[in-house]
Structure 1
Amino acid sequence: MKTFLALAAACFLGIGFVAQQHVAYREPLDEMLRMRLLAHLIRQPVWLLGIAAMVCGQVLGAVALDESDLGKVEPLLATNLIFALVIAHVVYQEPLSRAVWWGGLLVTAGVVIFLAVGQPHGGRPTGPWSVRWIGAGAVLVVAVVLVLAALPRSLRTKAMLFAAAAGMLFGVQDALTRSSLLMLGEGLAVGLRSWQPYALIVIAVLSLLLAQSAFDAAPIGISLPAMTAAEPVIGIVLGILVFAEHLRLTGTALAAEVLGLMMIVAGIGVLGRSSFLGKPGQDTGARVRGGPE
């Protein structure tokens, strides 16, 4: 049952991402990283359906996680990239290039191997003012650096770096969600006195803005893989740093985890070199200083 729930969750996530990208890609490029992008998108029924599908996927994923271990469910959730590519192929009735398929498979297989072999386990609740939360702060700093590095780059690079930053923030969001639920379990007053629930709202909005900016910049084969890879990896890293979880670190397991990470990087690299059409009616060259598309 947990396998079916996890795959259903991945499918809903894929549907949600395709619907969001379908609408966001039609928005002007000068709305990237601006709150008015979300203000425009929230008035689009298809985008709202995409958000609803994504929420359904997250709820199904949470139910699956409640019935099984993280290491068994997360690899199945990572297949949302493959579902998204297949759905995009059906919706747009256009053949996806071999590079997109190979890149998508490499990213997905890399995430699956890393999560399945690593199998994070153990851990304990962390206080709201624990020094361990510095790890989450470091992730936020890296995400900001990625966004700043993307600004003078091509649309392809913008999409990949914005998506990677969004995935990192989604990973922080996962850690904040877990912490907030643990504190709310101790009582509503305890939860409301801590900073995590409020930080969770801010991070959720920022991660959504970054994701939609990535979708605005490039088709889903370019914009989604880095996001798909970054969220679970950052989630595991924060699980170790903040909640003191453990990865399997035997010789074989460590080699497989490194292989998984290398496959993720290689897959994103393949996708980054694949071609995609510029947005019709947009003078992309005037907006991009990082070179031609």
Structure 2
Amino acid sequence: MAVPAAVIGAASFGLASALQQRATKEVPTTGALDPRLLLDLVRRPTWVLATGTVVLGLALQVVALAFAPLTLVQPLLVTGILFGTIFSAWLGRRRLDRQILLGAVACVIGLATFLSLARPSDSSTTLPGLPRLLPLAVVLAAIIAGCLGVAVASRYARGARVAALALATGVCYGVTAGLMKVVTGQIRAGAPAEIFLHPAFYVVCVLGPVGFLLSQNTFQHGVLIAPALAVITIVDPLVGIAIGVSWLDERLDSSLPVLVGQTISAVVLIGGVTLLAHRGTRVRHEIERRAQRCVEPR
């Protein structure tokens, strides 16, 4: 039940990302975490439709997390980058760029294989005490804070700003998924009313919308969807895996054959990300040169 729910959820997230990127280009540009962006977007029917698609994807993710370990569900959601790239090209009525598609496929295969080889086990649905909880929480909070610092600093180029926003979005989504696993555990245990007494529920209610707003900033500042979506899609499951192992006692296979397979998968993954970043930069420069020629006086 978890596998089809996660894959269909990934397709929903991919379609939503493509729709959201188109909508964010139609409103005035805002800074990171500026709520005025959402006020402008809510007037766009395309964005409202995309938000409904996100809700569907989240519902399917919750179903998947209720029946499978975090370290299994999150890798399956990696396919969202492939769906997002295809939907973006289709909505833009342009031919699918082979290099971008190849990079997206490499990211999907590399990361999904890297994580799936670990053979994740069932997890706990109870968060550990503060001594175990604090180190990873501090690291993740520092990453988000550093990325926001880069995003708001005007001296950084657009590429660095988009990468920082995407990284912060991925961290927020990964933490949200990890805590959603805890919340769904409470529901499956037959105590749905207790989720309102669990701190994880309120962290999800805050961090989820923050990540969503950051994703809209990312799509607005980025020229192509694939590079930014690649960063989000990679960071999200990696953070989820870290939470599953550190906080929820999920166990991964670390035998020698698995480590060799994961190394090869990591090389494929890095190659896919590099191809997406390189192609995205070239296309952005082509678009900027074309726009500059249009405004130059004859």
Q: Taking structure 1 as the reference length, what is the TM-score of the superposition?
A: 0.84
Post-superposition Cα deviations, 1:194-247, rounded to whole Å, max 9, x if no partner, equal 432222111112111111111011121222111111111110111011112111
CA distance in 1, matches of 2:68, 2:240: 17
Structure 1 range deviating more: 65-74 or 105-114: 65-74
CA distance in 2, matches of 1:23, 1:110: 30
CA distance in 2, matches of 1:186, 1:3: 23
The AA in structure 1 aligned to 2:28 is: P
Post-superposition Cα deviations, 1:38-70, rounded to whole Å, max 9, x if no partner, equal 222233221121111122123234334545565
Structure 1 range deviating more: 113-122 or 86-95: 113-122
Task: Specify the alignment match of 1:242 in structure 2.
Answer: 247
Structural mapping, 1:173-252, within 5 Å = 173-183=176-186, 185=189, 187=191, 190-218=194-222, 219-252=224-257
The AA in structure 2 aligned to 1:271 is: L
Distance change (3 Å), C-alpha of 1:140 and 1:257:
farther
3-state SS of paired residue (1:29): coil
CA distance in 2, matches of 1:129, 1:42: 40
Post-superposition Cα deviations, 1:65-121, rounded to whole Å, max 9, x if no partner, equal 545565655443321111111111111112343331222122111221122112321
Structural mapping, 1:260-275, within 5 Å = 260-274=265-279, 275=283
8 Å CA contact 1:159, 1:222 repeated in 2: no
Distance change (3 Å), C-alpha of 1:191 and 1:8:
closer
Query: Percent identity at matched positions?
Result: 24
Task: Specify the alignment match of 1:285 in structure 2.
Answer: none
8 Å CA contact 2:125, 2:186 repeated in 1: no
Q: Could you tell me which runs of 5 or more consecutive residues in structure 2 were left unpaired when the two chains were aligned.
A: 293-298
CA distance in 1, matches of 2:198, 2:4: 36
Q: Aligned Cα RMSD in Å?
A: 2.8
Structural mapping, 1:48-63, within 5 Å = 48-63=48-63
8 Å CA contact 1:173, 1:204 repeated in 2: yes
Distance change (3 Å), C-alpha of 1:280 and 1:207:
farther
Work out whether 1:155 is the aligned partner of 2:154: no
CA distance in 1, matches of 2:169, 2:139: 15
Structure 1 range deviating more: 113-122 or 167-176: 113-122
CA distance in 2, matches of 1:53, 1:140: 28
Q: Taking structure 2 as the reference length, what is the TM-score of the superposition?
A: 0.83
CA distance in 2, matches of 1:280, 1:4: 43
8 Å CA contact 2:71, 2:240 repeated in 1: no
Task: Specify the alignment match of 2:169 in structure 1.
Answer: 166
Structure 1 range deviating more: 56-65 or 33-42: 56-65
What's the CA shift for 1:2? Answer: 5.6
8 Å CA contact 2:125, 2:181 repeated in 1: no
CA distance in 2, matches of 1:279, 1:176: 45
The AA in structure 2 aligned to 1:234 is: V
**Any runs of at least 4 consecutive aligned residues in structure 1 with deviations exceeding 6 A, and if so which?**
279-282
Aligned residues: 282
Q: Could you tell me which runs of 5 or more consecutive residues in structure 1 were left unpaired when the two chains were aligned.
A: 283-293
The AA in structure 1 aligned to 2:173 is: F
The AA in structure 1 aligned to 2:248 is: F
Distance change (3 Å), C-alpha of 1:267 and 1:158:
farther
